[in-house]
């Protein structure tokens, strides 16, 4: 019995050393470029570490904010203003930033995110994830971070997002200086047009 356990520990240990050696080799040969895609082993290990990093009581915390039309409206605007720059309005991650960070911004509509508990999603929003582009958005005590809990409801809704909601979100997306100037120019042109009538 003891021999089998020793063999098992040795095999697992060699497996871990091999995986770390492989990751080290990949980093050495590709540098620290953000252009590549993480290997499935790297993705698996990162997800396991993320899962283990979230305290068990937090993982099991249910969303204390009841879902309502008002909460959904508020969280839609919040997501469009804070999250869509990386995750896109539809949650796909297909934005210039989302596609070019390492690891890439995940598609929040897929099972990798949707299968997480409400408590896990909240934890990621509030605390961020080290060594990724995911910042910690939560301020102050966990208990007082109502906005992140509201966002959990919206993230759950992403797979059912309607084209109308995506259009509505465009009005809440942050605007670049160029977009603001174009908007001002268009408004000025409309005003000039009104004066000529």
Question: Between residues 160 and 22, which one has the greater pLDDT?
Answer: 160
Predicted local confidence at residue 162, as pLDDT: 97
Q: Rounded CA gap, 127 and 142, in Å?
A: 9
* Percentage above 90 pLDDT, the chain: 50
Q: Rounded CA gap, 161 and 72, in Å?
A: 11
Predicted local confidence at residue 175, as pLDDT: 87
Predicted local confidence at residue 176, as pLDDT: 83
Q: Please report which confidence band the pLDDT of residue 38 belongs to, taking 50, 70 and 90 as the band edges.
A: confident
150, 70 in Cβ contact below 8 A? no
Helix residue ranges per DSSP H, the chain: 2-30, 40-53, 56-59, 69-78, 84-87, 96-100, 111-114, 118-127, 146-157, 163-170, 177-196
Predicted local confidence at residue 29, as pLDDT: 67
Residue 185 has pLDDT above 70, yes or no: yes
Cβ neighbours around 151 below 10 Å, total: 25
Cis amide prior to 103 (ω within 30 degrees): yes
pTM: 0.74
């Amino acid at each position: 019995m003891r021999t089998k356990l020793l063999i098992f520990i040795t095999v697992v240990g060699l497996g871990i050393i091999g995986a770390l050696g492989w990751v080290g080799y990949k980093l050495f040969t590709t540098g620290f470029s953000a252009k590549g895609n993480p290997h499935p082993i790297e993705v698996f290990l990162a997800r396991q570490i993320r899962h283990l990093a979230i305290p068990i009581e937090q993982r099991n915390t249910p969303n204390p904010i009841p879902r309502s039309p008002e909460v959904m409206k508020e969280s839609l605007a919040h997501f469009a203003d804070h999250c869509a720059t990386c995750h896109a309005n539809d949650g796909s991650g297909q934005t210039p930033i989302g596609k070019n960070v390492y690891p890439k911004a995940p598609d929040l509509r897929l099972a990798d995110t949707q299968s997480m508990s409400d408590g896990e999603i909240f934890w990621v929003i509030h605390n961020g994830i080290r060594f990724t582009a995911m910042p910690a958005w939560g301020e102050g005590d966990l208990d007082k971070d109502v906005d992140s809990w509201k966002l959990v409801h919206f993230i759950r809704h992403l797979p059912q997002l309607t084209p109308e909601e995506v259009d509505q979100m465009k009005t809440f997306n942050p605007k670049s200086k160029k977009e603001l100037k174009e908007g001002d120019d268009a408004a000025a042109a409309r005003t000039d047009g009104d004066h000529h009538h």
